[in-house]
Amino acid sequence: MPNDESPKPLRADAARNRARLLGAARDAFASGQAQVSLESVAKQAGVGIGTLYRHFPTREALVEALYREELAQLCSAAGELLAVDSPERALRRWMDRFADYATVKREMADALRTVFASGAVAVSQSRERLAAAVSVILDAGAAAGTLRADVRAADVVASVVGMCSATALPEDREQLGRMLDLLADAVRREATEANRPA
């Protein structure tokens, strides 16, 4: 008999519990707590610790699931932002979304190192997914004539990662905003000579 290893869909109540646990974990890590305990995550989600362990047998399993969800939401945000904003504004707003993502990821750093070391998540694949998301915005901007066509998405991602790393403290967020503004300005397409005022 063929072995079907695809995961079974969760029951509605189990799916709700899983979503609540991930939401509680996201809030806990984003709050800057010195040590986020699984018990506090379960309590915040309004479920028992046994329910948490059924979904996430280890702290690393919870962190991996949260990381994957945050990454997926960040990547899908590119298209969502483009649907309501101009490409240049969508790009700048996406950078802010990345800064929020980086804050949560930073608080999970110790557990994430274990996840990365296990090979469960590859940093290079994450960067590729982020670059693909940024490409969607850059391509739309190039087609509209508002963003430079010569900018590489991987360079934008690397720049944003570096800026977030250089401004890791909560009090640095204002400076990070200014730095992201500079990057967004650098990516905008300058007016052509023909369109510049004489």
Tell me the pLDDT of the chain (198 aa) as tens digits: 444 444 556 678 888 999 999 999 988 887 766 678 899 999 999 999 999 999 999 888 998 999 999 999 999 999 999 999 999 999 999 999 999 888 888 777 777 888 888 877 788 889 999 999 999 999 999 999 999 999 999 999 999 999 998 988 878 889 999 999 999 999 998 754 334 444
Quote the CA–CA distance of 140 and 134 in Å, as a whole number.
10
Start-to-end C-alpha separation, the chain: 77
Domains of the chain from N-terminus onward: 11-57 (1.10.10), 60-195 (1.10.357.10)
Give the count of beta carbons closer than 10 Å to the beta carbon of residue 39.
11
Q: How many CA atoms lie within 13 A of 131 on its CB side?
A: 13
Quote the CA–CA distance of 157 and 128 in Å, as a whole number.
9
Q: What is the pLDDT of residue 2?
A: 43
- Say if CB 78 and CB 92 are below 8 A apart: no
